[in-house]
Amino acid sequence: MTKTNLKRMCIQSGSEVLTLCVCCLLQGNASGVAQNSNFMPYGGGTRLCAGSELAKLEMAIFLHHLVLNFRWELAEPDQAFVYPFVDFPKGLPIRVHRIAQEEEGEEE
């Protein structure tokens, strides 16, 4: 396995490298401030997404049912890397198994 050093960063062979073209973001603006007002972040501030709290609630309910009713296991080993964001080279393949649940009132 070969590795490359770039500005005090060690990059392993096979790593995905993302590049950023700042000139594309500035769109000819010499001041360095982006002018596009169409971007509406999901985060916060005066332009907060109106449905963000509903989306968070729906995700919480979905994860609640997923954790209670299913068992997960790795389909094959995978090693995460965390720069610039968490990613898995193989996509983190998993197997999902439904947990058998007894129906209420059922007698043996």
Say if residue 24 carries a ligand binding annotation: no
Q: How many other CB atoms are there within 10 angstroms of residue 16's CB atom? A: 9
In degrees, rounded to 5, the angle at the alpha carbon of residue 15 between the alpha carbons of residues 2 and 3 is 20
Entry pTM: 0.43
Tens digit of each residue's pLDDT (9 = 90 or more) over 69-104: 999 998 988 888 887 888 888 888 899 999 987 655
Domain layout of the chain by residue ranges: 3-34+52-98
The whole-angstrom separation of Cα 87 and Cα 89 is 7
Tens digit of each residue's pLDDT (9 = 90 or more) over 42-74: 566 666 777 888 999 999 999 999 999 999 998
